[in-house]
Amino acid sequence: MIRTLIIDDVQLARERLKRCLAAEPEVQIVGECDNGTNAVASIRELSPDLIFLDVQMPALDGFGVLEALKGERVPAVVFVTAYNEYAIQAFDVNALDYLLKPVDCARLSKAVARAKSQLAQPADDLDSRFRAMLEDIKAGSKFLKRLTIKLTGHTILLPTDEIDWIEGYGNYLKVHAGRESHLIRGTMQSLEAKLDPETFVRVHRSAIVNIEKIKEIYPRSNGDQDLVLQSGEQLMLSRKYRDRFLAALGDV
């Protein structure tokens, strides 16, 4: 059996991984962690063979977890990430695997197979080349934590976790946060790429929603769905974006 530890600060992401791993008979989940500090302690205590490691976590991220284990036995690592193609290629070159969020179960099965192959090899600590690669990727990987909104006479720093949804508004974007809304220049595509895809999901050609702000979901007869936010606002989930949205929720 491959003793496996899941490390991700988002519960929905952990649940998704567990559902996918349930189809892998050789995998035994020995624990899960919701932050990097607990992860380091659990790796030392449980000595797992394989870890699914979220790259971006508050305080101590995935890179910090590996750095804390420098000089110790490191289990096989499957990164869970939302990185760009350059980073994906770097992972491939260095023979470590990755999963893009939202996780696809078929892709996870391939990652488990690659981990089995790695576990058959002598266990070595991460070499300097791989550590250098991690640092290069880490430096350019962060998603926006806040939006800078310039107004007449002053500037607002709006934390992204306070955003309810974002609306296409001509040549601008309208950012809705509670009872307030603000206009910023930009396109839906450019802003979407800068936001954490675990939290912000495109639901319509002209709408991005913070899934943490959704209260209820109602189906329509034509395949679309209505999203009711905690603020009471109602958005439409277009069929075009439904599969991606449900995957982000961990429902497919």
Per-residue pLDDT, averaged over 155-164, amounts to 90
The answer on pLDDT for 127 being more than 60 is no
- Among 96, 121, 139, the domain-final residue is 139
Q: Quick one: pLDDT at residue 137? A: 53
74, 126 in Cβ contact below 8 A?
Answer: yes
Domain co-membership, 155 together with 120: no
Number of domains forming the structure of the chain: 2
Of the listed ranges 15-24, 88-97, 117-126, the least confidently predicted one is 88-97
Q: Residue 183 maps to which CATH number? A: 2.40.50.1020
Indicate the SS3 state at residue 168.
strand
Same-domain status, 6 and 107: yes
One domain, residues 126 and 184: no
pLDDT value of residue 120: 74
Let me know the angle formed at the C-alpha of 22 by 21 and 25, rounded to the nearest 5 degrees.
90
- Is residue 134 over pLDDT 70? no
Residue 135: per-residue pLDDT: 58
Whether 157 and 66 map to the same domain: the answer is no
Indicate if the pLDDT at residue 140 is higher than 60. Answer: no
130/198 same-domain check: no
Structural domain ending residue among the three candidates 139, 165, 189:
139
Average pLDDT on 48-73 reads 85
The model's pLDDT over 184-228, given as tens digits with 9 standing for 90+, comes to 988 888 888 888 888 999 999 999 999 999 999 998 888 789 999
Q: Please tell me whether residues 127 and 28 are part of one structural domain.
A: yes
Q: Are residues 33 and 64 in the same domain?
A: yes
Looking at the DSSP bridge assignments, the partners of residue 7 are 33, 53
% of residues, the chain, pLDDT over 90: 42
pLDDT digits (tens, 9 = 90+) for 69-114: 877 887 888 888 765 543 554 454 343 577 888 888 998 998 899 8
- 96 & 153 share domain: no
Residue 45: give its domain's CATH number.
3.40.50.2300
* pLDDT tier, 144 (very low <50, low <70, confident <90, very high otherwise): confident
What is the domain extent for residue 93?
A: 2-139
Among 111, 139, 167, the domain boundary falls at 139
* Per-residue pLDDT at 136: 53
Distance CA 42, CA 54 (A): 15
pLDDT at 252: 45
Residue 231 and residue 160 in one domain = yes
Same domain, 131 and 162: no
Say whether pLDDT at 129 is over 50.
Answer: no
C-beta separation of 52 from 5 below 8 A:
yes
Q: Quick one: 118 and 165 in the same domain? A: no
pLDDT above 70 covers what percent of the chain?
Answer: 85
Model pLDDT, residue 95 = 37
Distance (Å, rounded) from C-alpha 72 to C-alpha 94?
19
User: Are 155 and 134 found together in one domain?
Assistant: no
Q: What is the mean pLDDT of the chain?
A: 83
* Best CA proximity match to 142, nearest among 98, 87, 77: 87
